[in-house]
């Protein structure tokens, strides 16, 4: 059996106010073309298909079109909810997409009610896939009770409960079947890609690799955006995201995993890189240096660190040179040190707002006569309307 493992699409992601819809469409086309070229039997999407719990209609349309394209030719497609997805929304799609052969799992389910997805490949191999969507602390106890019919101790850790759920969903794994797990969450030791939600990647949300039994031939994980293999009792991989979602992910190689597996043997994994999205780059230098290198940056989205003293209009000048600059920061070496602002003059008289504003500009390295003049004009208008400075 051959299948694709992908996750963390984050369709609908906006980067510093810039839409990335065209980039998402391009990388998802690459995914569909890869499925066709490799003639895979199945595709596993391990969560975070959307960037927000309330995706826009265009985002929903792109995801639906991609899932149907992946399904063509009779491929099995399994989609989990991630921490960015609304599991209720995915469960709304579940009945309709299910009739079309796309298995959607928004919330934890019993094995016989969609928690375990089963099918037979074209080669006659029986497949069992345990589907474990993202589970928040709010619902973890409820999920365990739903699967076990017994009250759960509320002081048990998240990892213990996750392992309890994994045991229930993998109990039917056999020696003569292809046994897979798909899950969305964090394993200890995993390297973050840079764009994950910190609050849902901390220790209290960890689960252990030992939750997956040795009979598992491959565990397809989502949530960490960097593609990586994790140690454990079976092959465990994060596919990584097909697109770098923020500047913290510049060093990642977006793509997917192509997996080959047969009953009784560990899976074989091949990494596939995608190039449909624009590169994200952090660049540094003075205005002159940046201008000299402008052509080198191509169409990459840029985070620019300027090696010059801060002043009015500096960010606008950077964007004139580099139209793809999404953020502009000042190099640490050029940032002024913060000085304590005096509340009175040397003679002991109270300092006026004009004095304080000029002090602020001087201390922050932003002295500019145009800004001072605008402040004076605004201040005069306000004080005249209010009856003076007092």
Write down which residue in 219, 250, 273 finishes a domain.
Answer: 273
What is the span of the domain harbouring residue 301?
279-335
Both 48 and 66 in one domain: the answer is yes
Looking at the fold, whether 132 and 240 belong to one and the same domain comes out as yes
User: What pLDDT was estimated at residue 37?
Assistant: 96
User: According to the model, what pLDDT value does residue 137 have?
Assistant: 63
Q: Are 213 and 294 in a shared domain?
A: no
* Regions in the chain scoring below 50 on pLDDT: 149, 151-152, 154-155, 198-202, 339-341, 347-348, 386-390
Number of helices and strands in the chain (H, E): 9, 17
Q: Note the pLDDT of residue 368.
A: 74
Instruction: Judge if 170 and 223 occupy the same domain.
Output: yes
355 with 214, same domain: the answer is: no
Task: Write down the pLDDT at residue 200.
Answer: 42
DSSP states of 237-254: EE---SS--SGGGTT---
- Distance linking the first and last C-alpha atoms of the chain: 81
The last residue of a domain, from among 273, 308, 326: 273
Task: Give the model's pLDDT for residue 144.
Answer: 56
Q: Are 174 and 134 members of one domain?
A: yes
Place of tokens 């921490």: 83
Coarse DSSP helix, strand, coil percentages of the chain, rounded to the nearest 5 percent: 35, 25, 40
pLDDT computed for residue 376 by the predictor: 75
User: For position 198, which CATH number holds?
Assistant: 3.60.21.10
Count Cβ atoms below 10 Å from residue 251 Cβ, excluding itself.
Answer: 10
27 and 42 share one domain: yes
Are 244 and 368 within one domain? Answer: no
pTM above 0.75, yes or no: yes
- Tens-digit pLDDT profile for residues 293-317: 999 999 999 999 999 988 888 999 9
**Residue among 203, 175, 180 at smallest CA distance from 190:** 203
**Do 360 and 262 lie in a common domain?**
no
Asked if 111 and 186 sit in the same domain, the reply is yes
With contact defined as beta carbons under 8 Å apart, do 166 and 132 qualify?
yes
pLDDT reported for residue 155: 42
Choose the final residue of a domain: 226, 258, 273: 273
Together in a domain, 242 and 377: no
Kindly tell me the burial class for residue 317, based on how many C-beta atoms sit within 10 Å of its own C-beta (0-12, 13-18, 19 or more).
middle
Q: How many domains does the chain have?
A: 3
| Sheet containing 280-285, strands listed edge to edge, beginning at the edge strand earlier in sequence | 280-285, 301-306, 325-330
Residues 236, 377 within the same domain: no
- Note the pLDDT of residue 71: 95
């Amino acid at each position: 059996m051959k299948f694709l493992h992908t996750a963390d699409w984050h369709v609908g992601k906006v980067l510093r106010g810039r839409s990335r819809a065209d980039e998402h469409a391009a990388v998802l086309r690459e995914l569909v073309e890869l499925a066709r070229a490799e003639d895979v039997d199945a595709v596993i999407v391990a969560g975070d298909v959307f960037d927000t719990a309330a995706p826009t209609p265009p985002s929903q349309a792109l995801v639906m079109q991609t899932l149907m394209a992946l399904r063509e030719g009779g491929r099995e497609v399994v989609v989990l909810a991630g921490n960015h997805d609304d599991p209720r929304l995915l469960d709304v799609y579940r009945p309709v997409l299910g009739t079309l052969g796309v298995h959607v799992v928004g919330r934890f389910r019993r094995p016989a009610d969609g928690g375990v997805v089963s099918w037979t490949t074209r080669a006659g191999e029986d497949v069992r896939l345990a589907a474990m969507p993202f589970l928040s602390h709010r619902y973890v106890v409820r999920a365990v009770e739903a699967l076990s019919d017994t009250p759960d101790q509320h002081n048990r850790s998240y990892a213990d409960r996750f392992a309890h759920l994994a045991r229930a969903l993998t109990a039917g794994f056999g020696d003569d079947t292809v046994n897979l797990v798909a899950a969305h969450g964090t394993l200890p030791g995993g390297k973050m890609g840079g764009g994950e939600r910190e609050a849902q990647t901390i220790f209290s949300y960890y689960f252990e690799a030992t939750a997956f039994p040795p009979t598992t031939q491959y565990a397809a994980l989502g949530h960490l955006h960097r593609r990586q293999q994790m140690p454990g009792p079976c092959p465990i991989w994060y596919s990584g995201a097909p697109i770098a979602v923020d500047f913290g992910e510049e060093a990642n190689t977006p793509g997917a995993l192509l997996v080959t597996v047969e009953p009784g043997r560990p899976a074989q994994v091949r990494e596939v890189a995608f190039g449909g999205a624009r590169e994200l780059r952090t660049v540094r230098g003075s205005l002159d240096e940046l201008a000299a290198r402008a052509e080198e940056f191509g169409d990459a989205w840029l985070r620019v660190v300027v090696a010059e003293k801060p002043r009015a209009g500096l960010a606008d000048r950077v964007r004139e040179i580099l139209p793809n600059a999404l953020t502009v920061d000042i190099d640490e070496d050029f940032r002024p040190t913060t000085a304590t602002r005096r509340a009175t003059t040397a003679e002991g008289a109270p300092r006026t707002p004009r004095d304080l504003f000029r002090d602020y500009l001087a201390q922050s390295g932003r002295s500019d006569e145009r800004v001072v003049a605008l402040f004076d004009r605004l201040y005069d208008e306000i004080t005249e309307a209010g009856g003076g400075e007092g």
